[in-house]
Amino acid sequence: MKILITSFLLTLATVVSAGNNIHGKTNNAVVIGKVENNLSNEIKLGNSVITIAKDGTFKFDMGEDKPSFYNFNYEGKKTELFISPGDSLCISFNAKDFYPSLNITGINADFNMLLLALEKMDAATNQYLNNNSFAMCSADPTYFTSKIDSIEQTFINRLDEFLKNKNNVNSWFVKNTRAEIIFGFNGFKLVYPCLHKRFTGKAAPVESNYYENITRDSFNDPELLQVESYSRFLETYLDIQAAGKYKYDDFYQYPAQIKGAQRYRAIQDLKINKEIKDYLLVKYFGDYLGNYGITGLESILTKFKNDCTDNDLKEKVLELYNKKLQERKETSEIKIYKRIGDIELEAHIFYPAGFKKEDKRPAFLSFHGGGWSTGMPEWGYWDCKKYASKGMVTITFEYRLMDIYGNKIVDCVRDAKDAVYWVRAHANELGIDTSKIVASGFSAGAHLALCTALLNEYEDPGNDPKISCKPNALILGSASYSTSPWFDENSGTNPESISPYHQMKKNMVPTLMFHGTADELVGYKIQFLPFIEKMKSLKNIFTYHTFEGIGHFWFREPKSAEISAKMTDEFLISLGYIEQK
């Protein structure tokens, strides 16, 4: 039956293609297919998203006028397709067993079956390298390089064998596929010194021109920017250059060195094709604005305007920057709540309509997520605007990020505690009722909110001891509740001293918690359930909701978001912070 269905769909594709030829549309490509045991409403090819029919069939009409590579995406499972004008491809697969069942037939299907074969080889290779990375990267560079070169050659041989009996093969297919292989393995070679130092504690015994030998002649062809592994290769090389004196060290231990302003200077210093340099400059700004906001960008914005030669790309970046500036105007005001040397940390404040400071309103404090490394106060605007509309004074806080300032998690905790202290110390100025302050957060931000309620340590010694750093209630989403290897390594103090599970006490403030049972970042069984059990044993006041089968970002599911919104309102109503409507 599966063969008959595939044959029928292929025949249909050919007929459609022939029909297009009759009407003069000679270059259209058609991709059709069938999903067995379909689990989704949508399927994606490149930038096109279409609805899957009830019988599991789908069809894409591709109007491209040149051969191109596209990502084919079903429920997060991806494969790459090469499609040329006039192609008619048929894709069939079983949703319950995507990769093993995937089959491609039709005009030029053999090119895509090669890509699929290489993807399967890549998956097996990645598993092998992950399982053997310690042994390989702990070895001397000669052994390491010989092993990598040997594995790489198996991919090259597979490609060459395919091309041997082919005539008039599209040059871009060959160039892209070969580049994906070469730069994928060269990227692994680039991180050898870093991993060698991490695994052995000793600097890798490589020659001083190690990186130069790997990257020679790699920065002159901007067409390679379309190759996914080349883009990753560029980013890794930029990490190394930005690391400066740490480039033969485990440079990922120095995130501020490779993510902050030093990264921009490293791009400036690269001797590469101008189009590639423009790409890196634009990507730097885009990534920075998306991960950290405008903090720290002002000082190098003028340089960017002069350094970037692609005016179209430059305008897009400046437009995004100005959009971020405009977004900040949504606040009622922005104040500095803390200074550490030259660093100024902001409090973004939203007042309710008709607000008078003598009203003394309840306060909603928000701490953004981002693994203590990324994020910005703007991520809290939606919640802040929502609860300001319900009559609360709402504030979303900036805190030091490891990627930007090179600090540790304990410094984030200090900032969060100082934020609550600042609210209490300036309650009259802010028009806040100090008996009704709720601290909320998501992920790392939820950890910080929880720490403000739990910890007596890490308060600024200059603070007035009569003013508490603790909120009166908590709302936590996907919080980090306990220690983990990464947490321990980046704590900057005894990890258990900033672990909510280890610092749990009786008489906790009323707490509302949300967590997904399939949380891939903060384990449901490892972290959330033990915390809940400890809360129960101490007879603390709390309520919670778990989202079955949903991961860390449960709020992206409309039903989950609806449940959390309803429960949050009910929680705040029960405390008398907002009124029931």
Q: What pLDDT, on the 0 to 100 scale, is given for residue 24?
A: 38
Q: Taking CA 287 as the corner, what is the angle to CA 283 and CA 292, rounded to the nearest 5 degrees?
A: 150
Q: What pLDDT, on the 0 to 100 scale, is given for residue 16?
A: 35
Closest CA to 392 of 349, 421, 328, 428: 349
Query: Which residues are within 8 A (CB) of 127 and not within 5 positions of it... i.e. 6 or more apart?
Result: none
Q: What pLDDT, on the 0 to 100 scale, is given for residue 12?
A: 37
Strand 103-106 to strand 343-350: parallel, antiparallel, or no bridges (unpaired)? unpaired
Q: What pLDDT, on the 0 to 100 scale, is given for residue 295?
A: 85
Q: b/e string for 109-127 if b means 16 or more Cβ within 10 A? A: bebbebbbebeeeeeebee
Both structure tokens of 510? 């009323």
What is the Cα–Cα distance from 438 to 222, expressed in whole angstroms?
Answer: 51
Both structure tokens of 532? 């809940």
Q: What pLDDT, on the 0 to 100 scale, is given for residue 10?
A: 36
Domains of the chain: 2-107 (2.60.40), 115-323 (no CATH), 332-574 (3.40.50.1820)
For the beta sheet containing 57-62, the strands, ordered from the edge strand earlier in sequence to the opposite edge, are 57-62, 29-36, 88-94, 103-106
Are 82 and 111 spatial neighbours (Cβ–Cβ below 8 Å)?
yes
> Burial level of 490, CB count in 10 A (0-12/13-18/19+)?
buried
Are 35 and 56 spatial neighbours (Cβ–Cβ below 8 Å)?
yes
What is the Cα–Cα distance from 455 to 223, expressed in whole angstroms?
Answer: 54
* Strands (DSSP E) found in 141-218: none
Closest CA to 419 of 350, 470, 465: 470
Taking the chain (581 residues) in runs of 10, the rounded mean pLDDT of each run is 36 36 56 94 93 94 84 92 91 93 92 94 94 96 96 97 90 96 97 96 95 96 96 96 94 89 91 95 93 88 91 93 95 97 96 93 98 96 97 98 94 98 97 98 98 92 92 98 94 97 96 97 96 97 97 96 97 96 77
Q: What pLDDT, on the 0 to 100 scale, is given for residue 64?
A: 67
Are 457 and 491 spatial neighbours (Cβ–Cβ below 8 Å)?
no
Both structure tokens of 33? 């297919």
What is the Cα–Cα distance from 524 to 516, expressed in whole angstroms?
Answer: 7
What is the Cα–Cα distance from 382 to 442, expressed in whole angstroms?
Answer: 13
Are 34 and 57 spatial neighbours (Cβ–Cβ below 8 Å)?
yes
Both structure tokens of 203? 């600097």
Q: What pLDDT, on the 0 to 100 scale, is given for residue 460?
A: 86
- What is residue 25's three-state secondary structure? coil
